[in-house]
Amino acid sequence: MRYIDSHSHLADAVFDEDRGAVIERAAAAGAAAVVCIGASLADAARARDLASAYPLLRWTAGIHPQEAGSFDADSDIAALGALLDAGAVGIGECGLDFHYDNAPRLRQHEAFEAQLILAAERDLPVIVHTREAESDTAIMIDRAARDGVVGVLHCYTGSLALAERAIGYGWYVSFSGIITFKSWTDLALLRAIPDDRVLVESDAPYLAPVPWRGKRNEPALVVHTIERLAEVRDVAPELLAERCLENTERLFGFTTRP
């Protein structure tokens, strides 16, 4: 199977001991690329450095809603812009998280909005995290889409309505190992995303799919998520993996073909 892990936190310190082995296992499992997410300015700088050391990696730069507490619209956006100049394929992850509420909601809004504006200016896709913040997310996506911004709702667990709204704007929806959990019952959502809009991701080190649930996740394990999604969608896993790969390349504007 040939696939892309569209969202992985490989810059996380939990991979410091064995990152090279993790990336080798991903390649051995069939990963043609792994998108290494920058969830803060420091994290994005690490992602950039890793991508120059490991050819399998692409990278992004953004400010996660949980990192938005100290967001400064001038200095942080300038720093983010400088990082993007170094070859990031997208902006994010960014978004809204009203489940953990680790940062004040006003700050989360400010940080997300500023990143959406930057995405429009730079013509870069956004990687959006949304949790228990659907109506606010919908309003902000509406506005961004009017400015021509395209993106992905990553590790998606929300409503079909929000997914369809995003798809209507030419956006994508990405599924993680959560869909392999027994607690996942929304099979209709898994079937509803069109073939040309669906992505898969590890979101490593979090959310390892069954049978690895509870362990540290890594990009090689995306295969389990692909197999579950393919089963629900009644398609061959290899074919689904290829579709998701093409969609990821189209969204982020890179190719894994020689």
Q: Is 36 or 77 the residue whose CB approaches Zn ion more closely?
A: 36
User: Please, how many CA atoms are within 13 Å of residue 151, restricted to the half-sphere of its CB?
Assistant: 38
Q: What whole-number distance in Å separates Cα of residue 197 and Cα of residue 47? A: 25
Q: Which residues contact 249 (CB under 8 A, 6 or more apart)?
A: 4, 255, 256
Closest distance between Zn ion and the C-beta of residue 137, in Å?
15
Closest distance between Zn ion and the C-beta of residue 88, in Å?
15
Closest distance between Zn ion and the C-beta of residue 177, in Å?
12
Q: Is 76 or 203 the residue whose CB approaches Zn ion more closely?
A: 203
Q: Is 97 or 249 the residue whose CB approaches Zn ion more closely?
A: 97
Q: What whole-number distance in Å separates Cα of residue 8 and Cα of residue 231? A: 23
Q: Which residue has the tokens 């894994």?
A: 256
Binding site for Zn ion (CB under 5 A): 203
Q: Is 67 or 203 the residue whose CB approaches Zn ion more closely?
A: 203
Closest distance between Zn ion and the C-beta of residue 30, in Å?
21
Q: What whole-number distance in Å separates Cα of residue 132 and Cα of residue 181? A: 20
Closest distance between Zn ion and the C-beta of residue 9, in Å?
6
Q: What whole-number distance in Å separates Cα of residue 252 and Cα of residue 6? A: 9
Q: Is 203 or 249 the residue whose CB approaches Zn ion more closely?
A: 203
| Per-residue exposure over 28-51, b if at least 16 CB sit within 10 Å of its own CB, e if not | ebbbbbbbbbbbbbebbbbbbebb
